[in-house]
Amino acid sequence: MCGIVGYIGGQNAAPILLEGLTRLEYRGYDSAGIAVLGAKNAQVHRVVGRVRNLAAALPKRLTGKVGIGHTRWATHGPASEANAHPHTSEDGRICVVHNGIIDNADALRAQLADAGVTLASETDTEVLAHLIARSGADTLEDAVVEAVSRITGTYAIAVTDTAHPDRLVIARNGSPLIIGVGEREMFVASDLAALVRHTSQVAHLDDGEFATVFATGYRTFTVDESDTTKPATEIDIAAEDLDLGGYPHYMAKEIQEQPESVERIIRGRLDDRFGVARLDGLNLTPRELRGFSRVKILGCGSAYYAGQVGATMIEELARIPADAEAASEFRYRNPIIEADTLYIAVSQSGETIDTAFAVEEIKRKGGRVVGLVNVVGSTIARACDGGVYLHAGPEIAVASTKALTNMAIGFALIALALGRVRDLSNADGQRIIDALRAMPGQIKSILDEGPRIAEHAKEFATANSLFFVGRVRGYPVAREGAQKFKEISYRHAEAYQTSELKHGPLALIDAALPTVAIVPADELTDRNLAAVQQIKARGGAVLAVTHEDVDFGELDVPRIVVPKTEPELDPILLTIPLQLLAYHAALSLGYDIDKPRNLAKSVTVE
Ligand code: AGP
């Protein structure tokens, strides 16, 4: 969703801002703009559409060494030039870019209008520019503090003032904001991706924190103006990690990277001697691990489905009741938070607002919550009491792949840690460890099947509607398969428990509605095969994602065969072909695979 960049230093700001905005494109947006401080005034340029349109619309000579930029995802008012950021005060002195939502914007807009202010947009953000400009405070910092004290909601903001061209003032509450430290130049961004080309030294603002950013340094402070000391830390992302690296799409790249990203999450964490996973970041002693009698996993979208995979693993390996719930629903049902429940928040971006709110709710009620998060230093990672980083590397494509695989592996590691302080034997722990070690090679062999899967995908892409079915361990696999398919190919894809087909959905089966069936070699194989038979008997086409040992007998069903692992871990490998299926379906339909319509990489508003 929305993205912020800012620059102050010795170089021309415009190209740096544009490059930063390009780096944030993957988050999803509908308009873009920049403001550059010139000798006397701020030059503001905004367009509907892509950053490249903005670049084309800029005057040839746009000079100025201080500026802010923004990619907007429309919330208040449609995508239009007037609604694009930066927003300015009536006299043009103050420019503001904002991520998040101001809940009391309507009331503030009415008050400003009553006071004679002409509002130039339909946005919530614009009120900030006017509030700051109209403040009687002595300093820009005080004016920003005063303005944000009048708003409720979430924000990350960056402000310029033509009267103070030596600084940017920034503030954060519920939406990420990072300062990048350069050599006599400073950068600001809502996402590391916009900074990595320039610096590896960053400081993350916390909620409720403000900063004044000069070319030569920065000062962080709180609402009552007390200094917070926020030293910069080194980040571990290289600029090349964010390039396509010869692939046609980020999604293709990220699918292919999985053997290495799986290596990374398990590296140094598998303890052969005791058949356990070493997860120091959880900040839980063996005694504390033993004390939990329930596990509750919270995530959104595909992360929620990965949570369902994880809940089953934890129940099977640790024999603790575990379930996953959509974080977006959690806090609205006034959840009961129990002291002996281990809460796990799972998120690739670490910025999904619904998951962040769920964490807040758990902590507010005194619960213990750990994170399974990919982005180091992200909001959710920092809000949790401990956690396991996924180490999947940067994920740019909106459709998540390698991060989800690492989430499932992360759950296997947590299941081992919980299981080995209970009844899981050393031998069983070792069995899982060996299987995890074999996984990168097994994933590679599935990826080698890409061309064959592409053929099936082309066929399935012609259907308007599809079913994905699976049972128990296979059900979240089916849910994720349907999710990936619909996200990027815009085909209606619905997941069902195979066992539920006969209770309703079977009525829809005919030659026009194909089914992808998850049929692992496990205790439910016969039942899954019986369901496949029922679908076939009604003229429905079936593609089975299955194991070598499954005997389809007389059933004429095309198959994608994945290597067998330990049964508890089967869902991880069964999901990989479904990523390829979705990718190749979208490719054959000619869609924008990395930036599907209406979707954003990290959903930072409710
Ligand atoms: C996955 O392909 C989706 N784009 C989406 O469901 C995603 O998993 C969800 O929005 C959660 O994101 P997070 O992992 O960054 O929290």
What digits encode the pLDDT tens for the residues 474-497?
999 999 999 999 999 999 999 999
Q: Please check the confidence at residue 605 and state whether its pLDDT lies above 80.
A: no
The rounded mean pLDDT for the chain is 95
399 lines ligand 1 (CB under 6 A): yes
300 lines ligand 1 (CB under 6 A): yes
CA 346–ligand 1 middle distance (angstroms): 10
For residue 516, the tally of other CB atoms under 10 A from its CB is 27
384 is catalytic: no
**Closest C-alpha to ligand 1, atom 11:** 300
**Digit-coded pLDDT (tens) for 451-479:** 999 999 999 999 999 999 999 999 999 99
602 lines ligand 1 (CB under 6 A): yes
For residue 147, the tally of other CB atoms under 10 A from its CB is 25
**Digit-coded pLDDT (tens) for 135-160:** 989 999 999 999 999 999 989 999 99
Q: Please check the confidence at residue 115 and state whether its pLDDT lies above 80.
A: yes
CA distance 210 to 202: 15
Burial 40-58 (b: 16+ CB within 10 A, else e): eebbbbbbbebbeebbeeb
579 lines ligand 1 (CB under 6 A): no
pLDDT at 38: 86
* 12-27 mean pLDDT: 93
Predicted TM-score (pTM) of this structure: 0.87
| 27, 302, 346, 479, best to mutate for ligand 1 pocket (most atoms within 8 Å of CB) | 302
pLDDT at 39: 78
Using pLDDT thresholds of 50, 70 and 90, give the confidence band for residue 528. Answer: very high
% of the chain with per-residue pLDDT over 90: 88
Percent of the chain that is helix, strand, coil (3-state, to 5): 40, 20, 40
Ligand 1 atom closest to the CA of 484, numbered from 1: 2
**Digit-coded pLDDT (tens) for 399-451:** 999 999 999 999 999 999 999 999 999 999 999 999 999 999 999 999 999 99
In three-state form (DSSP H/G/I as H, E/B as E, the rest C), the secondary structure along 391-416 is CCCCCCCCCCCHHHHHHHHHHHHHHH
pLDDT at 40: 81
CA 66–ligand 1 middle distance (angstroms): 34
**Digit-coded pLDDT (tens) for 594-604:** 988 888 787 87
CA 303–ligand 1 middle distance (angstroms): 6
CA 375–ligand 1 middle distance (angstroms): 13
Using pLDDT thresholds of 50, 70 and 90, give the confidence band for residue 321. Answer: very high
**Closest C-alpha to ligand 1, atom 16:** 347
Q: Which residue segments constitute the domains of the chain, with CATH numbers given?
A: 3-242 (3.60.20.10), 449-594 (3.40.50.10490)
